[in-house]
Amino acid sequence: MFDVTKKSMQWGEETLTLETGKVARQADGTVIATLGETSVMANVTFAKQQKPGQDFFPLTVHYQEKYYAAGKVPGGFFKREARPTEKETLTARLIDRPIRPLFVDGFKNEVLVMCTVLSHDLVNDPDIVAMIAASAALTISGAPFMGPIAGARVGFVDGEYVLNPTVDDMQDLRLNPEQRLDLVVAGTKDAVMMVESEAYELSESEMLGAVTFAHEQIQPVIDLIIGLAEEAAKEPFEFAAPDYSELYAAVSAAGEEQMRAAFAITDKQERTAAVAAAREAIKEALTEEQLEDANLGSAMKKLEAGILRGDVVKGGKRIDGRSTTDVRAIEAETSLLPRTHGSALFTRGETQALAVTTLGTGDDEQFIDALHGNFKSNFLLHYNFPPYSVGEVGRVGSPGRREIGHGKLAWRALQAVLPAPTDFPYTIRIVSEITESNGSSSMASVCGGSLSMMDAGVPLKAPVAGVAMGLILEDDGDYAVLTDILGDEDHLGDMDFKVAGTENGITSLQMDIKVAGITPEIMEKALAQAKDGRMHILGEMGKALSETNEFSVHAPRIETMNIPTDKIREVIGSGGKVIREIVETSGAKVDINDDGVIKIASPDGESIKKAYEMIHSIVAEPEEGQIYTGKVVKIVDFGAFVNFFGKRDGLVHVSQIENRRLNHPSDVLKEGQEVKVKLLGFDDRGKVRLSMKVVDQETGEEVVPERKEKKEDAE
């Protein structure tokens, strides 16, 4: 019934298996990839005809994590998988980026790639498995895909690169100081197509070495996919790249001169208007048949790209007049907003980010219900890209894939310099509002986010800056690497290469290639040029940091204390009675972790002190020989019971009240009276023995009995 094809290999510490022919046989291509006990099914379907008038490539990639894969029931009220999580959205982008450039030029039929996690062993991350499964499914589907690709994750421990580290190793690099890198690389047999990473201040050579290592490790996986395709691939879909040379010649003749003049304008708004006018002039010169040609958009883009790219490679001059290594003018300002905890406005040319930092308590941490377990995050970064930032009218809704992806890139760049949660027990939230955009707004978010956190008083290890690099690679091998690219250079260029880091090294690297990959030589040049740009930006940011780092008066103050885990129950009390009393009495917010770490938060220092003392009195043990202030709670014939340490009482025997014989303790004491006592010790039954007579009731200092002094004099 089934015509199953299966291929396996040893890859690192695990066995990688690709299987097709049993499941989802009506899809154009289906492959189930398994690494260890993590399995992902990739299904590929593509339209056999192009939609009339389609002028772009409609590729859609979905990645879905099914909770049953890890033996879990979804959290929440509905108990079923709903909207994509951040991890699912980011993984879908991770798969989309390296495969999109490898479809044959001119192919504009709709393509759908769906990756579904079927099993998760909680060791091997499904994202790499999904990427391999998607590549294999595309390769056997018959679609005009110039792959295959493969992907790998790389760690960096003790100067050694690690292939596909475990999920636990990558859970939070801040909590695993030995692990300095989380890098994902995708590529073909010959070249790297995509890089995504977060790092702990790696040098350019260490980062380049990691990329090279990953590219070497994916080679046997590519061979495995080719072996599967040799036995299971469908007949190639008959597709010939459209010939629109005549249309391009007409477009070029009608508007090259006007388009070239438009691209000579340095101001973005004026240039955009002039380019739009040139397009309209071209359309007016074309015939009705040419206007209806689905390749008109491609011909227009080819004309624009030829003008922009040729001038840069041949003349070294860009559309805004800069050289290939110049960074646009930078203006950085902090403390703009009076009531926020930290704020910064970072402007680089025509790109601007308003970054705002808010400091919260443990209650503000984000709870994440992930496939591999539930955990909390105390660092959040949200990126917003409203239509007005590019002078457009558009629909405003919930964050899309682009917003989530750009926000995560900035998050990765900044997390490496955050203080340890034990040193700075705050939840940190950054919101980056992109108010202008012409170039990398994600890197502006990195710079603005770094400034706003320092403005809020967050003790960062070092400021972080980011810069976006571009590439123009001509057919004859000539190329130009561009520092701080514009939007048009990103749109019409061959590479988007974002690098963020401190003076000491790289904290995040993201690369997307629109051609069949780049050489190590080009990547090395781009990294070196990016370092120069980053250092320049850090210098400009430093001008705004001279008067920052003051903790906002509006931010909550948090103090931490550690208690024995066996005392947690006493602090909480039956039904939470004790902790509620502490909160109500002190006015502070108290958060208790399972490991015995208690965070006390309040804008009022006295509230924190009161809560601290109340908790300390519950969990601390009285020390023998120490002097305490207490209250008489009960008087009996043989002495008085004094509450001296939290809820702990002790007996002051009648002989220990004063240095004279008393008829009854009530001769000198009454209930509610405040007294000072010394803890003499504990009797055989654990009862507390206290003394008043050895303590000066006025000063609280210990006094030496007279007979002891006389004895010492005699000696």
Q: Residues 118, 40: contact at Cβ < 8 Å?
A: yes
Res. 548: pLDDT tops 80: no
Digit-coded pLDDT (tens) for 323-378 = 889 999 999 999 999 899 999 999 999 999 999 999 998 888 888 888 887 888 89
Q: Are strands 29-35 and 38-46 parallel, antiparallel or unpaired?
A: antiparallel
Give yes or no: residues 28 and 106 share one domain: yes
What is the sign of the dihedral through the CA atoms of 535, 540, 542 and 548? negative
Instruction: Tell me if 351 is assigned to some domain.
Output: yes
If asked whether residues 533 and 410 sit together in one domain, one would say yes
Q: What is the pLDDT of residues 425-444, one digit of tens each?
A: 899 999 999 999 998 899 99
Q: Is pLDDT at 4 greater than 90 in this prediction?
A: yes
Q: Does any domain span residue 477?
A: yes
Q: How confident is the model at residue 207 (pLDDT cuts 50, 70, 90)?
A: very high
Q: Are residues 683 and 636 in the same domain?
A: yes
Domain boundary among 190, 208, 232: 232
Q: Is the pLDDT of residue 517 over 60?
A: no
Same domain, 606 and 635: no
What per-residue confidence (pLDDT) applies to 516? 67
Residues 301 and 259 placed together within one structural domain of the fold? yes
User: Domain check: are 250 and 228 in the same one?
Assistant: no
Residue 192 falls inside a structural domain = no
CB 541 within 8 A of CB 548: no
Confidence of residue 194 (pLDDT cuts 50, 70, 90): very high
Tell me, rounded to whole angstroms, the distance of Cα 258 from its chain centroid.
44
Residue with tokens 């680089």: 348
CA dihedral (90, 92, 95, 98) in degrees, to 10, reads -70
Query: Among all chains, which residue has been given the structure tokens 């690679």?
Result: 473
Sign of CA dihedral 331, 334, 338, 339: positive
Tokens of 397: 């809704």
CA 313 from chain centre, in angstroms, equals: 36
How many Å apart are CA 27 and CA 271, to the nearest integer?
Answer: 46
DSSP letter at 84?
A: P
Whether 180 maps to a domain, the answer reads no
Q: Is residue 204 part of a domain?
A: no
Q: Are residues 337 and 384 in the same domain?
A: yes
Domain boundary residue, one of 513, 542, 571 = 542
Q: For 370-413, write each residue's pLDDT tens digit.
A: 888 788 889 999 999 999 998 888 888 889 999 999 999 999 99
> What backbone phi and psi angles, to 5 degrees, belong to 82?
-120, -125
- The answer to whether position 172 is within a domain reads no
286 DSSP 8-state letter? S
Domain boundary among 590, 619, 648: 619
152: which strand partners? 185
Confidence of residue 710 (pLDDT cuts 50, 70, 90): very low
Q: Report, as an integer, the average pLDDT of 127-144.
A: 97
Closest listed residue to residue 492, CA positions, set 238, 280, 311: 311
Q: Are 471 and 392 contained in the same domain?
A: yes
Enclosing H/E stretch for 465:
strand 465-473
Residue 155: both structure tokens together? 């760690």
490 and 633 part of one domain = no
Closest CA to 317 of 513, 472, 440: 472
Residue-number span of the structural domain to which 91 is assigned: 5-149+218-232
| Residue 314 burial (CB count, 10 A) | 11
- Residue 418 domain-assigned? yes
- Both 273 and 354 in one domain: the answer is no
Domain count, the chain: 5
Dist CA 681 CA 529 (whole Å)? 71
How many angstroms separate the CA atoms of 184 and 163, rounded? Answer: 10
Distances (CA, A) of 362 to 376, 377, 420, 590: 9, 10, 14, 9
Residues 20 and 18: their CA atoms lie apart, in Å, by: 7
Cis peptide before 98 (omega within 30 of 0): no
**Confidence class of residue 593 from pLDDT cuts 50, 70 and 90?**
confident
CA-atom Rg of the chain in angstroms: 34
- pTM: predicted TM-score of the whole model, two decimal places: 0.84
Same domain? 22 vs 132:
yes
Cα separation, 41 vs 392, in Å, equals: 40
Integer angstrom CA distances of residue 587 from 175, 279, 352, 558, 580 = 32, 65, 41, 13, 10
Say how far apart CA 100 and CA 171 lie, in whole Å. Answer: 29
Residue 712 — very low, low, confident or very high, per pLDDT cuts 50/70/90? very low
At residue 406, the pLDDT reads 95
DSSP code string of 488-534: HHHHHSSEEEEEEE-SS-EEEEEEEESSS-B-HHHHHHHHHHHHHHH
Residue 375 CB: number of other CB atoms within 10 A? 13
**Is 601 within the bounds of a domain?**
yes
- Report, as an integer, the average pLDDT of 296-305: 88
Whether pLDDT at 711 is above 60: no
Cα atoms in the Cβ-side hemisphere of radius 13 Å centred on 189? 9
Q: Residue 453 CA to chain centroid, in angstroms?
A: 15
Residue matched to tokens 């507390």: 688
